[in-house]
């Protein structure tokens, strides 16, 4: 089945081929995002602690099933408009899952968990950022898969924004494959 969209309850999905959403740089609202994801397997159900995720309200915790311990630290940089601080754009944060099968439901769980956290710990000014949309894809480095990447946003972006197919970083080639985008229909 070509371009079959993996179903995720509570989310409407669409295939974006080998491209992921590339929102305007001035709309991210984050000067620099660093994400660290760690999974551990002490039991059948393990906890994936998402630390160092920059958002207007802090970090989130997501429950996932895995069978090994991994750690990864991708960095995404963007330029915010002058004077813009964290939480002023539509980009909420990112997650990466390694040593597990590709499953968009992992990103949906991160989106839901981020919403629970942001609503439970609202910012001192303004409204909490609500995850209404995510994009997910397999990230490859020099032809080798390194993990499933998820990017969370406060608004929907159409497939016309799916223009990011990867990049060169130093001597490394980072490629996007099997990209999908999902709208949160529960909010």
Question: Degrees (nearest 5) of the Cα angle 20, 2, 147?
Answer: 40
**Band of pLDDT at residue 4, cut at 50, 70 and 90:** confident
Q: Which residue has the higher pLDDT, 105 or 58?
A: 105
Per the structure block, which two tokens stand in for 128?
A: 């909490």
Cα dihedral across residues 108, 114, 118, 120: positive or negative = positive
Looking at residue 21, what is its pLDDT?
A: 87
| Nearest Cα residue to 76 out of 92, 64, 87, 63 | 92
Looking at residue 23, what is its pLDDT?
A: 80
Torsion angle defined by CA atoms of residues 2, 172, 148 and 5, in that order, rounded to the nearest 10 degrees? -20
Write down the pTM of the prediction: 0.69
The mean pLDDT value for 39-49 works out to 32
**Band of pLDDT at residue 74, cut at 50, 70 and 90:** very low
Residues 76, 120: Cα–Cα separation, whole Å: 26
């Amino acid at each position: 089945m070509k371009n079959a969209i993996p179903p995720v309850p509570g989310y409407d999905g669409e295939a974006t081929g080998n491209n992921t959403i590339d929102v305007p740089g001035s709309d991210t609202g984050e000067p620099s995002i660093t994400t660290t994801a760690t999974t551990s397997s002490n039991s059948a159900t393990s906890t994936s602690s998402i630390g160092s995720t920059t958002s207007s309200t802090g970090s989130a915790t997501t429950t996932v099933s895995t069978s090994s311990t991994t750690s990864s630290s991708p960095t995404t940089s963007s330029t915010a408009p002058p004077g813009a601080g964290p939480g002023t754009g539509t980009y909420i944060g990112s997650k990466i899952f390694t040593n597990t099968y590709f499953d968009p439901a992992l990103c949906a769980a991160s989106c839901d968990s981020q919403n629970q956290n942001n609503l439970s710990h609202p910012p001192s000014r303004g409204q909490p950022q609500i995850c209404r949309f995510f994009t997910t894809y397999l990230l490859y480095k020099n032809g080798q898969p390194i993990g499933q990447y998820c990017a969370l946003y406060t608004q929907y972006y159409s497939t016309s924004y799916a223009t990011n197919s990867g990049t060169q970083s130093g001597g490394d080639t980072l490629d996007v494959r099997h990209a999908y985008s999902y709208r949160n229909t529960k909010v």
